[in-house]
Structure 1
């Protein structure tokens, strides 16, 4: 079968903090930021290389690092820092330094305030390195007293947060690569993997609530059995193949061809990505945020997701998010559709593989 997840001085960055990269023609005079002085040599980098450099600098600078993004037009890394000493280190490494107001610890604290005081169905939030703020998004279901409460909490965070409204409704896209069916519904296969030398595939965790035996057609013979399914908090599941079902490491492009998948990779903001799913087939876009928290309602809160502007619809759940030959994410949910657009969230593949002790293959 072919188919298609403090203080403003030195401190250790929290394990949950994510260095984000953002693309496309941003200017450097964004909120709270001062532009570096000229007379420096800025390295020309790909988005992936910029992400690697940002990760290294983030570890070296500790609490003086405040996130990063990728300027696709200049092909350069822009690193947010909180003082001139850290800015100098960034320049020496070949990046472009930007002194900002909010540290990663302060933005993390803002996220915790949102968790404590504004856990409202139909909301999401993610750290935006371009604005140096936590961007909070409310879908169309958030109104009345809940909308007023959310406005009050975000306003209380001052320059650390901003509030946006989505025209759609956040929900898991259950109903995805190739279609997989069970008695309780239809999802999409994400990526074929190997665990303990045996062939398996991964898909969305919320698909695991629909059934345990999965087939290639509604009512057809089972090709796999659910081994583990984690949702909410995470959104990934592992299915072990039955018998000798074909399991190539490839994604269905729905044009008679496939994209070979040879590895898993972490997402960076600004990365160009494609999504394959059994409802809407293949659509392209880019990563717009990392470490996103999404509240789908009914207590279904998922953390650590990849946020994108790639469209998706019910039935695309579990489907592949990929960049070239790299597996990036598993379709979780979002708002909108492939006519109007919207936001879509993905479970990072690297996290799912680590949890299951599996590898792409």
Structure 2
């Protein structure tokens, strides 16, 4: 008998930079988790297949599944579970099971506590499946009384949370792939999509308002008009192309080539990803967290983001995050830069596609 699937919670979390960058092939176990003995070899999986297996197991196990991540070196899906009965289901499906200390309810409770007691601009939190904790990060603006309050709240959560400090500052990358311009500045085009049979493209919601006109160069002819924009809460927008004709589903790699995009995929912790943007071009990294919420300050809180180790800078906003030929996300914001490194958050592209009833073009 299958459990009813528990909808993903979106909890307010304040923006900071989580510095835990999960190395490819990480195999170290945290002190509060243990691998369950496998009676059969773990099935080697591609990152796409691992994502599909994670979704299937989530449907089957419900709250007994406490998180997953992809071990790129071993080519396996690591699945955190509540008990050995659930571990049997994971093993039989070809995943690697870990019985962990903190349950899904405990981690959700920790996030609620942080939302209620520590909603401080310049902080972020997300569940880290590798450590089985809620990782809370404060950026460099969190000092004095704010730092003391945050430290006290995290300390009160005991083994369920961990506090980290970032040298950077979390902010939306206001100002992709190819550059797009309006009177307010420059962003990056995300992915070309089709809605109701007509060509559109996705970008970040914080880039502009409904009705704003966009061009491929400053002061150039209209490329399209923004027909919907969602920020804060979410961070995605839809632009209708001015001219007819479908646009190619590909990402500019800034080396004379492009990456064809054939569909969308849900992010998985450990997934290798690339980002293209009009400021810093193409950079690589990994997915390090899911369902993160970031407080950019001034009441701009965004929920349900994909957390990565990829760098980005202003002007890269809205640009595409992809893994192979699959669209994964749209650049939202983060800290650091591509000289010293940093952490970047992305709006899941599947949520935007679902909201608009659109498909990759």
TM-score, length-scaled by structure 1: 0.92
Counterparts of 2:36 and 2:109 in 1: how far apart (Å)?
A: 27
Counterparts of 2:3 and 2:325 in 1: how far apart (Å)?
A: 37
Counterparts of 1:331 and 1:75 in 2: how far apart (Å)?
A: 27
Counterparts of 1:182-261 in structure 2, within 5 Å, are 182-209=182-209, 212-244=212-244, 247-261=247-261
Counterparts of 1:19-34 in structure 2, within 5 Å, are 24-34=24-34
Counterparts of 1:140 and 1:46 in 2: how far apart (Å)?
A: 38
Distance 1:241 1:121, change over 3 A: same
Deviation string, structure 1 residues 91-148 (Cα, Å, up to 9, x no partner): 2222222111111121111111111111111111111111000111111111111111
Counterparts of 2:73 and 2:116 in 1: how far apart (Å)?
A: 39
* Structure 2 counterpart SS, 1:148: helix
**How many residues of Structure 1 are paired with residues of Structure 2 in the alignment?**
349
* Structure 2 counterpart SS, 1:52: helix
Pick from 4, 8, 16 the counterpart of residue 16 of structure 1. Answer: 8
Distance 1:43 1:176, change over 3 A: closer
Counterparts of 2:151 and 2:6 in 1: how far apart (Å)?
A: 27
Distance 1:343 1:287, change over 3 A: same
- What is aligned with 1:291? 291
Deviation string, structure 1 residues 224-256 (Cα, Å, up to 9, x no partner): 111000000000001111124773211111111
Q: Which moved more, 1:337-346 or 1:264-273?
A: 264-273
Counterparts of 1:231 and 1:194 in 2: how far apart (Å)?
A: 22
TM-score, length-scaled by structure 2: 0.92
Q: Which moved more, 1:273-282 or 1:74-83?
A: 74-83
Deviation string, structure 1 residues 289-337 (Cα, Å, up to 9, x no partner): 1111000000000000011111100011001111111111110000000
**What's the RMSD between the two structures over aligned residues?**
1.9
Counterparts of 1:169-180 in structure 2, within 5 Å, are 169-180=169-180
Distance 1:321 1:38, change over 3 A: closer
Counterparts of 1:246 and 1:178 in 2: how far apart (Å)?
A: 17
Shift of 1:37: 2.6
- Contact kept in structure 1, 2:223 and 2:242, CA below 8 Å: yes
Q: Which moved more, 1:277-286 or 1:246-255?
A: 246-255
Counterparts of 1:103-142 in structure 2, within 5 Å, are 103-142=103-142
Runs of 4+ in 1 over 4 A off after TM superposition: 10-13
- Contact kept in structure 2, 1:183 and 1:210, CA below 8 Å: no
- Contact kept in structure 2, 1:17 and 1:104, CA below 8 Å: no
- Contact kept in structure 2, 1:173 and 1:333, CA below 8 Å: yes
Counterparts of 1:25 and 1:260 in 2: how far apart (Å)?
A: 27
User: Which sections of structure 2, spanning at least 5 residues, go unmatched?
Assistant: 11-21
Deviation string, structure 1 residues 147-175 (Cα, Å, up to 9, x no partner): 11111111111111101111110000011
